[in-house]
Structure 1
């Protein structure tokens, strides 16, 4: 499981004395625990790796935005720190589908469920997330689904 891999990598980084990597891995662990606490009142996902991947994607998105803002503000040292954290986070993210594969998956789902208009976007997105959720950036997929149904 991805959660266990992150824990063992944290221990390895601590033993190696890599302070930057250790800090980033601890941050990942803390975010995962935060999500676990949030889900105590709700329904936990069936697959734990999906939860971890979702947390990692959000963290990566935040880091990319921070890097852009820090670079605009002339704070290169902070941008470099965010880039280092982003590199550690991306190590644990699964390989995402490229645009051609995403479009092919959308077309297959569209044909299978008989989607023909923008009104069917919710159905297509739900099925896409169910089948390929951990392999897709859903914000990009949303734009592609909208274009396919337009």
Structure 2
């Protein structure tokens, strides 16, 4: 049984008692996504904390992307709602890495793989080292952009 999933359920109960609409609706959506992930595939399975974290990360990314799309479309009210939901989900994610921390990890990964002079051909090798280190702590697109920047330079 996932401790994180139990925490989400307990927090949903708290939010419902406190009549916190944004928090309770967001936690309901997240728990539904977790349940969907459990029954996806041929065999239903119980998700581990790491799996639940993966679901939370993807849900947070969806909220960020939707908020950006709504803001660009001039729908600020909807963008604010998406940002509020992303903030609720962020409470359950590990501390996000800053730009400087990502740059340092990328530099270390390039040194570790010996890819300094190889250019973009080394992208997969470097990302293979970085992905486990940054999973759930940084957006993969941001990490990939930094790898491209450092390999090109």
The TM-score range, normalised by the shorter chain, is 0.7 to 0.9
Q: CA shift at 1:2, angstroms? A: 2.3
Distance 2:78 2:134 in 1: 34
Q: CA shift at 1:31, angstroms? A: 0.8
Question: TM-score, normalised on structure 1?
Answer: 0.82
For each residue in 1:77-121, what CA deviation from the matched residue of structure 2 results, as whole angstroms up to 9, or x when unmatched?
333332322221121121111111111111112111211322121
For each residue in 1:54-84, what CA deviation from the matched residue of structure 2 results, as whole angstroms up to 9, or x when unmatched?
2222222222232233334443433333232
Gaps of 5+ in 2: none
Distance 2:121 2:71 in 1: 40
For each residue in 1:16-68, what CA deviation from the matched residue of structure 2 results, as whole angstroms up to 9, or x when unmatched?
22233211101010111112223556x998xx333223222222222223223
RMSD, aligned α-carbons: 2.5
Q: Tell me what 1:58 maps to.
A: 58
- Cα pair 1:50 1:134 within 8 Å, conserved: no
Q: Tell me what 2:127 maps to.
A: 125
Task: Indicate how the Cα distance of structure 1 residues 122 and 27 shifts in structure 2: closer, same or farther if over 3 A, else same.
Answer: same
Question: TM-score, normalised on structure 2?
Answer: 0.81
> What does 1:1-150 correspond to in 2, within 5 Å?
1-38=3-40, 48-116=48-116, 117=118, 118-150=120-152
Gaps of 5+ in 1: none
Distance 1:134 1:106 in 2: 16
Task: Indicate how the Cα distance of structure 1 residues 40 and 12 shifts in structure 2: closer, same or farther if over 3 A, else same.
Answer: farther
